[in-house]
Amino acid sequence: MFKKSNQLFERAQQVIPGGVNSPVRAFKAVGGNPVFIASGKESRIYDVDGKEYIDYVCSWGPLILGHCHPEVMKALRGVLETGTSYGAPTEREVELAELICEAFPSIEKVRLTNSGTESTMAALRLARAFTERPMIVKFEGCYHGHGDSLLVKAGSGVATLGLPDSPGVPADLARLTLTCRFNDLPSVQRAFEQHGERIAAVIVEPVAGNMGCVPPQPGFLEGLRKITTDAGSLLIFDEVMTGFRLAYGGAQQRYGIKSDLTTLGKIIGGGLPVGAFGGRKDIMDRVAPHGPVYQAGTLSGNPLAVTAGITTLKILRQPGIYDTLESRARTLELGMIQIANEANVSVTANRVGSMFTLFFTPRAGGSPPKRPDQGMGMLVTDWQSAKHSQVEKFGSFFREMLQKGVYLAPSQFEAGFLSTAHSDADIQETIHVAQQVFAGWGRRN
């Protein structure tokens, strides 16, 4: 079934570490070998063996308009006729920056980079320079790229000093990172009680997407805003995933919270490599060449990436786009929960806008009260509860959905995404395929 993909994976392992250029693509979390993709069109992708899939990865979020959107492709063909890179300013960079600043009231100035990782690294350096403090606070289960100071995990308890989570990260650097529990304000308050005068910033995914989709509990983001303001620290929203995804103004628009700095990526490049960080003018004016905080990038503001981003953002400004995404994602969420309940499969669903995750958690039992439409599984509100997920069941679900033509994120702890290209028919087909999978489980049991 995957003959060419398997052959390519054998070749890849000889010249690429693990055979992939990003770890989660290796399918190690779900079993088997990765599928190699040949092309994409609208809501579908096609592998090298010719098999077709409904795609809910969407390049891990950037393709909110689906694959090969005609307006984006037309714009890219046009810019290809003029060149691919100059290492000098272009008008398109200014236009994309203006669009970002218009969409996010908290962003008065913005610097373009090449990736989300670059953006978070630069934002943290800027926060430390602006506050003249060395420490940062992050949350267990939140991913902000592979910068050294962010590859840490929590120890026992809360508000613990970070320990390296990857070989090659110096312990002395990791100790400058405090790790708290997502959706747990008391843990943040304790961190500030112990280290407040040394904390430069709190960085958070306002909606977590890298332990699966986990929304903020009521009052959590508001609490972070107050704690950081009172302490003279900065609040950094990592909206690489949520920016222009949950609303045109990202999670900040959806929840009504303004951060001091914001990191962006994914959608602002329309499917091409891009990143950005921006915020208050007084902070951003510390960035070189205006200020002393150095940040640079040879391909930052690449003409192809900013052209795809500009075109994508202009389309997203059209009326009704986010209402349609919300409606179809809600239909998918409720449909999956209904068929899981009917098949007596214990799951819980988390969704915010067009981001979603189906967690294969144990039955709720004594967990906090649930919404009845979330499924029979226990709530997932942070990394500790996400880790209760039965990853073997998710792996079986993933493989069977893949075989039947539905491409999901190959990890229980990653969010899925819808695009404007996903039709009502796509949603119903996905629900029907999942129903077949769950029915098969019932027959085997």
Q: Which of 47, 55, 184, 238 is catalytic?
A: 238
- Given a cut of 80, is residue 157 above it in pLDDT? no
**Length of the chain measured in residues:** 445
Known active-site residue 255: no
Question: Which secondary structure element, helix H or strand E, spans residue 416, and what is its range?
Answer: strand 416-417
Token pair belonging to 82: 């003029």
Q: Give the residue from 296, 295, 312 showing the smallest Cα distance to 304.
A: 312
pLDDT tens digit sequence for 135-151: 999 999 998 988 877 77
Known active-site residue 314: no
Task: State residue 146's pLDDT score.
Answer: 82
Task: State residue 278's pLDDT score.
Answer: 98
In terms of DSSP bridges, do strands 37-41 and 44-47 run parallel, antiparallel, or are they unpaired? antiparallel
b/e burial code for range 28-42 (CB count within 10 A of at least 16 → b): ebbebbbbbbeebeb
The two counts, helices (H) then strands (E), for the chain are: 14, 17
SS3 267: helix
The span from the CA of 75 to the CA of 123, in Å, is 30
CB 417 within 8 A of CB 355: yes
CATH code reported for the domain at 3-68+319-444: 3.90.1150.10
CB 34 within 8 A of CB 5: yes
pLDDT tens digit sequence for 49-80: 999 999 999 999 999 999 999 999 999 999 99
- Is pLDDT larger for residue 153 or for residue 234? 234
The architecture (CATH level 2) of 70-316 comes to: 3-Layer(aba) Sandwich (3.40)
Mean pLDDT of 158-181: 70
Residue 433's pLDDT band (cuts 50, 70, 90): very high
The span from the CA of 349 to the CA of 38, in Å, is 31
Mean pLDDT of 369-374: 63
Which stretches of 306-405 are assigned E, i.e. beta strand? 348-352, 355-359
CB 244 within 8 A of CB 221: no
Q: Give the residue from 116, 319, 352 showing the smallest Cα distance to 245.
A: 352
**Which stretch of 10-24, 147-161, 162-176 has the lowest confidence by average pLDDT?**
147-161
Task: State residue 159's pLDDT score.
Answer: 35
The span from the CA of 88 to the CA of 96, in Å, is 16
SS3 270: coil
Torsional sign, CA 326, 212, 67, 334: negative
Q: How many CB atoms lie within 10 A of CB 145?
A: 19
Q: What is the pTM of this model?
A: 0.94
Segments making up each domain of the chain, as ranges = 3-68+319-444, 70-316
Residue 154's pLDDT band (cuts 50, 70, 90): very low
Q: Give the residue from 54, 72, 39 showing the smallest Cα distance to 419.
A: 54
Which residues neighbour 389 within 8 Å (Cβ) at sequence distance 6 or greater? 212, 359, 360, 361, 380, 412, 413
Distances (CA, A) of 9 to 60, 232, 295, 335, 381: 21, 50, 36, 35, 36
The span from the CA of 104 to the CA of 125, in Å, is 22
CB 104 within 8 A of CB 319: no
Omega before 289 within 30 of 0, i.e. cis:
yes
Query: What dihedral do alpha carbons 310, 315, 317, 322 form, nearest 10°?
Result: -130
pLDDT tens digit sequence for 298-351: 999 999 999 999 999 999 999 999 999 999 999 999 999 999 999 999 999 999
Task: State residue 161's pLDDT score.
Answer: 43
Task: State residue 49's pLDDT score.
Answer: 97
pLDDT tens digit sequence for 175-213: 899 999 999 999 999 999 999 999 999 999 999 999 999
The span from the CA of 194 to the CA of 147, in Å, is 25
* Angle (CA) 276 280 282, round 5°: 120
In terms of DSSP bridges, do strands 234-238 and 37-41 run parallel, antiparallel, or are they unpaired? unpaired
Task: State residue 160's pLDDT score.
Answer: 38
Known active-site residue 143: yes
CB 351 within 8 A of CB 333: yes
Q: Which of 53, 248, 266, 426 is catalytic?
A: 266
**Which stretch of 148-162, 270-284, 394-408 has the lowest confidence by average pLDDT?**
148-162
Which residues neighbour 60 within 8 Å (Cβ) at sequence distance 6 or greater? 266, 409, 414, 417
CA 16 to centroid of chain Cα atoms: 24
Q: Which of 53, 56, 143, 248 is catalytic?
A: 143
The span from the CA of 260 to the CA of 282, in Å, is 10
